[in-house]
Chains A and B, each alone.
Chain A
Amino acid sequence: MLKINGLTTGYNIGRKAGMVLQENMTAVVKTKQLICVLGPNGAGKSTLLKTLSGFLKPLSGKILYDDKPIDKLDLKTLARLVSVVLTDRFSDLYLTAFDVVRMGRFPYVSFLGKMRPSDVDFIHETMEKLGVISLKEKPFYNLSDGERQKVLIARALVQDTPFLMLDEPVAFIDSPGKIEIMELLTSLAHDQGKAVIMTTHDMDTGLRYADSLWLIHRQKPLLTGIPEDMVLQGRVGEYFQRPGLLFDREKGIFRSSRKTGKDRGIIFVRLMGREAQWLAKALERNGFTVKAAHDLPEKGYFAFFEGGIFYLSQNGCKPEKFSDIASLLSVLLKRFDV
């Protein structure tokens, strides 16, 4: 278990007083948990992660791994407790994916770095499991962002630690890759019993996958809780608040508080099925206000989807047919903008 008690993070610049990023944080990390440290850019997420990993000294407060203060643990012990995935890039031309992964075994092998057969097997198994075994001999710098991230996670996994810390692991990854990595991290927490702590500035990722959300902000205290409660209590909105943005508690997303486009009026939509949902989304994006309705109202526009066809009717008249949302939208826009 990792306990954080009154932790203040930041940097000491020379002999002058340091720059404080986060003050007086208190939290507990249990195993079998995926924790997302969520906050806007520059809030001090990476600094917190590096402080917890022992790379930076806390300005004050305590970090306890299984009730032992981090500064009392020697580096070898810490290396078997915490593994990290960072955003650093390596410049070496000939460093292969395997070279990178195998470094994770260094805390377990002799001072000459000679691997035992069991170490090599473990490395291969791990790379196989993450689907990066085919990249083994490839130069690391040549890998795609997603491949790199998985190789780095493999490196952390062969280090075989109860705590896994990742700095922005999905920041530059495409959507399918993002899901893949987040599913992997979730499974590491839930199935392998690790405590996974990751930073992200991406609210959707945090809300969707975190077992526990740590909201951090330069001017606000650390707030922890499960994502759903945080949304309902308006905390997420509060921590990401920026002038001109409003948090939608129903959808868990931010939208502009200013009316950017035109306010085109009300459209009634029969909100059944995913086609209708996407239709509603398209209408909202174009400045319409969508209201749920089941049947044709007497006045106004009504849209619905049935049997593979989109329908639009005006003032209760016979509905027109459309094969896709775009054609429906263009007809609607023509009428409204005349």
Chain B
Amino acid sequence: MPSNLRNNFWFLILSLLSFLLFLANLGFGSVMLPWDQVIKALFHSTHADATALIIVNQYRLPQAITAFSTGILLSMSGLVLQTLFRNPLAGPSVLGISSGASLGVAVVLLSGSIVGVDMSSLPVVGNLAVILAALAGALLVLGIILFVSARVANVITVLIIGIMLGYAVSAVVSVLQFFSGSEDLHAYVLWGLGSFSKATVRQSFLLLFTALGGMLILFFYIKPLNALLLGEDYARNIGFQPLRIQRVLIFVTGILVAVGTAFTGPIAFLGLAVPHLARATFKTSQQGVLLPATILMGIVLALFCNLAAKLPGYDISLPINAVTSLVGAPVIIWVIIRNRHVQLR
């Protein structure tokens, strides 16, 4: 079948791109290293240069793994949420989970100037406190969403409540921002711009395992997700329990997004845009094709954005959110223009 051939072609290209971009992420940075040094350092060869060892293994590798994992986490969550809510504009941010993470971080980073105890300034604890606060905030919002979704039968209601919750939480953050000092505010704004370089080696591997674990769980939900494409009644007619599937998947994607956001800050657009790119490239709605496609494209896009943000050869780097938005916004616009001929309902 030609569509099968096309799919395999794209899978091959994307896998290759992922590999090359991963290597490029290790090879390029503000310091120019010769490639043989990069490879030697990566394999801890005895001939490796000491500086190269540190730069590659302590800085570039965890950053590349973080970008790789976040690409997986956010884009596959986006796909699942779009299918679940049957809404092309759903994404990891709509459930209010990243807003929840922001609230947690805002409390930690901004509380100093308000209460007088600055948790983030404590050494070692600082980074961890931010991560834990983000996780706590995200899980708090997820808990509320799950509590609500157990009580309303309509999944769209859950979506709307998630968006509203996001607004409410952001309002609290604004109040905190208003009363905090400029230094703390700067730290908070920096966190909000997102970064793949904050995670340590260990943390980056934790992210990777979360991503792989999430992938494994979601692969078992391909069939129910396909069934939900026809709506809840048809899904039920072919033997699925839509309400249960929705709750499980909101929980799973919620956890994935919460963990991702905790280590990288809120990353804009990846989760929203990548599933659309995958659909447009593979021209299918079959979740069995779209899930791996979205994962691969998420990896490619995240690694590409990270590379672009690093501005190889320059001393400075751009905030990752600026780059993902610059790539993501045109994708969304393109999707809307493409769909303008399609009339639904």
- Residues of chain A touching chain B, judged by Cβ–Cβ distance below 8 Å, are 50, 53-55, 75-76, 78-79, 82-84, 86, 88-95, 99-100, 103-104, 106-107, 111-113, 141, 159
Contacts and interface: CB of A to CB of B under 8 A. Distances in A.
Contacts of B344: 89, 91, 141
B310 to A, nearest CB: 35
B127 interface: no
B237 to A, nearest CB: 5
A95 B223 CA distance: 15
B188 interface: no
A107 B237 CA distance: 9
A99 B342 contact: no
B275 to A, nearest CB: 12
A84 B239 CA distance: 12
Contacts of B288: 112-113
Interface string B230-245: 1101101111110000
Nearest to B226: A113
A113 B283 CA distance: 19
Nearest to B279: A94
Given A92-B285, A104-B238, A113-B223, 13 more contacts: A75-B240, A79-B239, A91-B86, A91-B344, A92-B86, A93-B342, A94-B284, A95-B285, A99-B286, A106-B227, A112-B288, A113-B226, A141-B342
A107 B238 contact: yes
20 contacts: A50-B233, A54-B236, A75-B241, A83-B237, A84-B233, A84-B237, A86-B231, A86-B233, A91-B344, A92-B229, A99-B229, A103-B227, A103-B234, A103-B238, A106-B227, A111-B223, A112-B222, A113-B226, A141-B344, A159-B237
Given A84-B233, A93-B339, A107 B284 contact: no
Interface in B312-334: none
B285 A99 contact: yes
B186 to A, nearest CB: 43
B9 interface: no
Nearest to A111: B223
Given A92-B285, A93-B285, A94-B285, A55 B236 contact: yes
B91 to A, nearest CB: 17
Contacts of B240: 75, 106
Contacts of A78: 239
A64 to B, nearest CB: 19
A103 B229 CA distance: 10
A86 B229 contact: no
A233 to B, nearest CB: 35
Nearest to B289: A94
Contacts of B285: 92-95, 99
Nearest to B219: A112
A90 to B, nearest CB: 6
B302 to A, nearest CB: 24
In the A-B complex, list the 5 residue pairs whose CB atoms are closest, starting with the nearest.
A79-B239, A113-B223, A94-B285, A106-B238, A95-B285
A86 B238 contact: no
- Which of A76, A83, A94, A111 is packed against the most chain B CB atoms within 10 Å? A94
Q: Could you say which of B229, B237, B344 has the most chain A C-beta atoms within 10 Å of its C-beta?
A: B237
B47 interface: no
B202 interface: no
A317 to B, nearest CB: 61
A264 B277 CA distance: 69
Contacts of B226: 103, 106, 113
B150 to A, nearest CB: 15
B80 to A, nearest CB: 14
Contacts of A99: 229, 284-286
Contact of A93 (B220, B233, B279): B279
A88 B233 contact: yes
Contacts of A100: 230
Nearest to A88: B231
Contacts of A106: 223, 226-227, 238-240
B235 to A, nearest CB: 9
Contacts of B220: 111
A159 B236 CA distance: 13
Contacts of B286: 99
Interface string B122-166: 000000000000000000000000000000000000000000000
Contacts of A84: 233-234, 237
Contacts of A159: 237-238
A53 B344 CA distance: 26
B203 to A, nearest CB: 33
Contacts of A113: 222-223, 226, 288
A55 B227 CA distance: 15
Contact of B229 (A53, A76, A82, A90): A90
Contacts of B241: 75
Contacts of A53: 233, 237
A78 B239 CA distance: 7
A141 B239 CA distance: 24
A84 B234 CA distance: 7
Contacts of B284: 94, 99
Contacts of A88: 230-231, 233-234
Nearest to B1: A137
Contacts of A50: 233
A78 to B, nearest CB: 7
A91 B279 CA distance: 14
Contacts of A90: 229-231
Contacts of A104: 238
A55 B342 contact: no
A94 B237 contact: no
Nearest to B345: A89
Nearest to A83: B237
A79 B227 CA distance: 13
B236 A75 contact: yes
Interface string B272-301: 000000010001111010000000000000
Contacts of A55: 233, 236-237
Nearest to A167: B233
